[in-house]
Amino acid sequence: MLNLMVAITFDGVMGKDNKLVWRIPTDLKYFKEKTLGKKMIMGRKTFESLGGVLPNREHIVLTRDLSYKAPESVKIIHTLEDVEPYIESEEEVFLIGGAEIFTMLMEKCHRLYITWVDKEFEGDTYFPLLKLKDFKEVSSVEAHDEKSDIHLIFSVYEKLENSIS
């Protein structure tokens, strides 16, 4: 099943200049726990912002660039139709960004894992907050990252029955 994972501010900021605008160890640990051993679908810019292949996860990069080259372990796909097998897969597959990919595929996700970052940041990349109307929050856990001194809320949302595409 296709699920989404993202960290955002309350006003939807995800990043700036193709990078995260924060470094929050508690959120990075959460991301690793959830995605370890799983497949992750992302856009080219998101993949390039990782700085390399993350260990013990399958990377699937969606790009319109037919000549795009990535390490051999990375699967390259070029169309939304190429994502279809992952949408209803028995295994959990994570959509991890960026904004354009979220906008195109969020309606196909069953579950959203959203880390709410309780601090204002300047950004140029935003999460499509209006699309949250098709989901309901099913769990929420608060945490405080000591290193960054930032309060977080780890929320899980599930697709409303009448919104399944």
Task: For 19-72, give the DSSP string.
Answer: B-S---HHHHHHHHHHHTTSEEEEEHHHHHHHTSPPTTSEEEEE-S-TT----T
Q: What pTM was estimated for this model as a whole?
A: 0.94
For the cut 80, the answer to whether the pLDDT of residue 165 exceeds it is: no
The whole-number pLDDT of residue 162 equals: 72
For the cut 70, the answer to whether the pLDDT of residue 65 exceeds it is: yes
Q: Label residues 76-105 b or e (16+ Cβ within 10 Å = b).
A: beeeeeebeebbeeeebbbbbbbbebbeeb
The count of C-alpha atoms lying within 13 angstroms of the C-alpha of 163, restricted to the half-sphere facing its C-beta, is 16
CATH of residue 157's domain is 3.40.430.10
Q: Give the structural domain span for 40.
A: 2-163
- The string of pLDDT tens digits covering residues 90-104 is 999 999 999 999 999
For the residues 26-51, what does the mean pLDDT come to?
96
Domain count, the chain: 1
